[in-house]
Amino acid sequence: MIAIVDYGMGNIHSVQKALERMGGSTKIVNKPAEISRAGKLVLPGVGAFDDAMSELEKQGLIPAIKEFINSGKPFLGICLGMQLLFEKSQEAKRSKGLDIFKGEVKLFQPAKGLKVPHMGWNQLKIKTNCILLKDIPDNSYVYFCHSYYPAPEDKEVIAATCDYGEEFAAVLCKGNVYATQFHPEKSQSVGLSIIKNFVNTC
């Protein structure tokens, strides 16, 4: 069973529909015990870093998410759910992140007439053979909507990048932990293929 964490921030139903369309058996969860029983876990998210961490803490989900990741079972963070995996964010005024990845989430600096947030379709530059990106062609278009981007200290965890005035990490892979800055559930056939890889092979 693939558990989708519901902490009040995120388009969980579109994520759920995409996972089920690709053959996944899903359950929306908001209790620690439900997370621990899952076979795979998805942390989606739309909104602000501080608010997200506050809600996760309020519901007692932070230890359960960390324990799940440490168990070695497959985990996928999407958009804000990716950013929460880091130590800290420039967006945050009070909260630290989950500290799964060392590094910081940074604000885009407007350049060359580019607007913030980075919103719309952009191309992936694939860097490694991450199983999440199996059979995904280089330069595939995926859908982004974000003002902040993750900057991991360990560049080896970056599986794909994207360019928006500067190169930034778009996909992370480390062991059983996978994360996308874009929304695979909104990225049409490419995104569904990525979700299928998580359902079937990760």
146 is annotated as an active-site residue: no
Handedness of CA 22, 184, 51, 89 (dihedral sign): positive
**Gap between the Cα atoms of 65 and 62, Å rounded:** 5
From residue 113, alpha-carbon distances to 116, 117, 118, 181 in Å are: 10, 12, 12, 22
Distance separating alpha carbons of residues 195 and 154, to the nearest angstrom: 25
Instruction: Given the residues 130, 173, 185, 202, select the one marked as catalytic.
Output: 185
Tell me which of 34, 79, 104, 162 is the catalytic residue: 79
What is the C-alpha separation between 66 and 161, in angstroms, rounded? 25
Alpha carbon distances (Å) from 83 to 11, 25, 99, 135: 16, 25, 10, 25
Task: State whether residue 29 is helix, strand or coil.
Answer: strand
Catalytic residue among 34, 104, 183, 202: 183
Length of the chain: 202
Peptide linkage before 152 cis (omega within 30 of 0): no
| 173 counts as catalytic | no
* Active site positions, annotated: 79, 183, 185
